[in-house]
Amino acid sequence: MPMQPLSSNDPDQIGPYRVFAELGRGAMGRVLLGAGPDGRPVAVKVVREWLAEEEEFRARFREEVRKSRKVSGQYTAAVVKAGPNDPVPWLASEFLRGPTLGAAIETAGPLPEDAVLRLAAGLASALDSIHDADVIHRDLKPGNVILAVDGPRVIDFGIARAADGGSSDLTRTGAVIGTPGFMSPEQALSEPVTAASDVFSLGAVLVMACTGDSPFATSSTLRTLNNVVRAQPDLTGVPARVRALAARCMALDPDDRPTPAELLELIGPVAPRSNPWPEAVAALADEQHRELARLLDNAGEAPTLIDDGPTLITDPSRPTWVGPPAPPRSAPPVDDQAAPPRVVPPIGKRPSTPPERQNRPSAPPVNRFSPPPPNPPPAGSRPDAGAAGMAVFLILCAIAVILVIRENVKDDEDPDDTGDMHETYVQDCQDAGYSQAACETSWSTDSSYVWTGYLYDGSTETTGLDETTESEEDQYEVYIDECQGDGYSQSACEESWYADASYTWTGELHEGSTDAETTDPYESQKEAYLEECQSFGYTQSECETSWLADPSYTWTGELFS
């Protein structure tokens, strides 16, 4: 996603860092491009204001910042500074040059197998480092993976962890921390998560790198989650080696998933390369570098505002710059050749004039002649009725013009800006695991034009992780009510609902739920396969790898590779 200019409502500075552009945004916050006092670029993550209002979030955020400082920067973006106690908490990390995995696939297409294996090794190393610091990422997805020149880097760990857990309203009604197409089954069911949850997400990311789509993605949030909680990924088109790795990572039971260290052993040594990514990805990195250079090279120019007359009436929702008061009438006339006065903006606010317009020639000066105040009429005389009527008419006309300006200011958006907003919205939506068609539909009905992490269904509320269309929502309520009416707990009923593709209560918990006293046919197949395989003299590890890679799930007498 290209860097976006900041709005007039954005601050000039966050902590010790000047900020220049927006790098990205998500449900938890925004990422801004900043620079420290030494001029070194950084990425500044600013959390959403509603999170900042929660003291419980602040306490957990402080703890996660402390832990994040322990994480090695070799495979991540090292944390350099944070402001957990500021009015709006923020965290600054080193700026990594390179596109996100999501942006690279969107622009250049899926990665070749050798690049995906390199990606797998890098992500496993990153998770190993993160987990060693007692941190769980909880939102590993293509948008949180940078394809840097020295290998993949994982970003944005810590904030999602701080926003989860506890009994407060941090997650809001019906929300789950994570991205539907890449979260683990235990996350989708709001169960406690461990480091194995990140490994599940890693497997989904590898499939996306090979195919361009999440292995669980559908046009419906509910159906996507249904695929997740059943751990039924679509591995079509995934090369054999990557498929075997991803399938093990996405095992339904967290205990069956490999640790990052075990995953590195399965991958084996990766040959060093001066450029680890395809040329098309390297071209994206070069383009980003040029854009960064343009932004930072122009950052030192201080804005100059000139008082050319009366203040223009603009959109009342935006701050208006007002020039200094006019000199007293007794003051000497202003020398038109003298240098114009500089109006320095107050600290923490950005001038309302967009940066790209500050250096353009200003409009011709407005007539600066100020007429003397009118003389009062002689006592006993009556004001001229025609003049009074004309004054009233002019006032009404002025009011009408102001109202028209206010009503139509929202229609004056730059088409290019709208196009950028559309591209950003759809990209962020696809990074969350949704199909392009679903993202386009959400964009067309979402009047805010800002991706919040969930599909928009056209109503006044966005579609949350456990919400879907009105008909499916009614089905869900009926199913849960009938299930609880038969004496089952709400959690058991919800798990049965997610596992039941018919979405119709039959009087018993669905066999896919953990409380159902039935045998999983998938597990039966697996046990038979492993037993036959081991009877041929192969080890259990070899048999499990063959099982995960074999689409027929039938032992043929030889290991499937």
3-state secondary structure 232-254: CCCCCCCCHHHHHHHHHHCCCCH
Give domain status of residue 107, yes or no. yes
Give domain status of residue 139, yes or no. yes
User: Quick one: pLDDT at residue 468?
Assistant: 41
What pTM was estimated for this model as a whole? 0.55
User: Quick one: pLDDT at residue 448?
Assistant: 64
Give domain status of residue 26, yes or no. yes
User: Quick one: pLDDT at residue 17?
Assistant: 96
| Highest mean pLDDT of the ranges 27-31, 136-140, 482-486, 535-539 | 136-140
Give domain status of residue 45, yes or no. yes
| Highest mean pLDDT of the ranges 324-338, 515-529, 531-545 | 531-545
User: Quick one: pLDDT at residue 38?
Assistant: 92
Q: pLDDT band at residue 422, thresholds of 50, 70 and 90?
A: confident
Tell me the pLDDT tens digit for each residue of 5-39: 888 888 899 999 999 999 887 767 889 999 999 98
Could you tell me which residues come within 8 angstroms of residue 119 by beta carbon, excluding any fewer than 6 positions away? 101, 111, 145, 147, 152, 205, 206, 209
**For the ranges 46-60, 157-171, 245-259, which has the lowest average pLDDT?**
157-171
For residue 418, pLDDT over 70 is answered with: no
Assess contact for 148 and 101: CB atoms under 8 A: no
User: Quick one: pLDDT at residue 450?
Assistant: 73
Torsion angle of the four alpha carbons 416, 418, 419, 422, in this order, in degrees rounded to the nearest 10: 160
Q: At what angle do helices 240-249 and 260-267 cross, to 10 degrees?
A: 170
User: Quick one: pLDDT at residue 173?
Assistant: 35
**For the ranges 196-210, 230-244, 342-356, which has the lowest average pLDDT?**
342-356
∠ CA 106-462-86, nearest 5°, is 85
Tell me the pLDDT tens digit for each residue of 439-475: 777 777 776 667 777 676 544 333 344 434 445 567 7
For residue 103, pLDDT over 90 is answered with: yes
- Amino acid 286 reads D
| Highest mean pLDDT of the ranges 166-175, 182-191, 456-465 | 182-191
CATH number at residue 232: 1.10.510.10
Q: From CA 301, how far away is CA 195, in angstroms rounded?
A: 47
Give domain status of residue 234, yes or no. yes
Give domain status of residue 339, yes or no. no
- Name the residue among 164, 142, 146 with its Cα closest to residue 63: 164
Please name every residue paired with 25 in a beta bridge, in sequence order, or none if there are none.
Answer: 30
User: 183 or 541: which carries more pLDDT confidence?
Assistant: 183
Q: What are phi and psi of 327, to 5 degrees?
A: -65, 155
User: Quick one: pLDDT at residue 457?
Assistant: 58
Tell me the pLDDT tens digit for each residue of 197-207: 999 999 999 99
For residue 214, pLDDT over 80 is answered with: yes
3-state secondary structure 462-520: ECCCCCCCHHHHHHHHHHHHHHHHCCCCHHHHHHHHHHCCCCCCCCCCCCCCCCCCCCC
> Which range marks the domain in which residue 55 is found?
4-297
Tell me the pLDDT tens digit for each residue of 74-101: 888 888 999 989 999 999 999 999 999 9
Q: What is the mean pLDDT of residues 346-375?
A: 39
Could you tell me which residues come within 8 angstroms of residue 487 by beta carbon, excluding any fewer than 6 positions away? none
Known active-site residue 139: yes
For residue 54, pLDDT over 70 is answered with: yes
Mean pLDDT of the chain: 73
Q: From CA 204, how far away is CA 120, in angstroms rounded?
A: 11
Render the burial of 304-314: b for 16+ CB within 10 Å, e for the rest: ebebeeeeeee
Domain count, the chain: 1
Kindly report the number of other CB atoms within 10 A of residue 391's CB atom: 11
Give domain status of residue 324, yes or no. no
HSE-up (13 A, CA, CB side) for residue 27? 24
Tell me the pLDDT tens digit for each residue of 295-315: 777 765 433 332 333 322 233
User: Among 139, 446, 466, 500, which one carries the catalytic annotation?
Assistant: 139
Please name every residue paired with 244 in a beta bridge, in sequence order, or none if there are none.
Answer: none
Tell me the pLDDT tens digit for each residue of 376-414: 444 444 444 455 556 555 555 555 544 444 444 444 444
Question: 45: annotated binding-site residue?
Answer: yes
Tokens of 181: 């197409």
Assess contact for 23 and 42: CB atoms under 8 A: no
Assess contact for 52 and 88: CB atoms under 8 A: yes
Q: From CA 232, how far away is CA 252, in angstroms rounded?
A: 9
Tell me the pLDDT tens digit for each residue of 323-338: 333 344 334 444 444 4
Give domain status of residue 23, yes or no. yes
Q: What are phi and psi of 25, to 5 degrees?
A: -155, 160
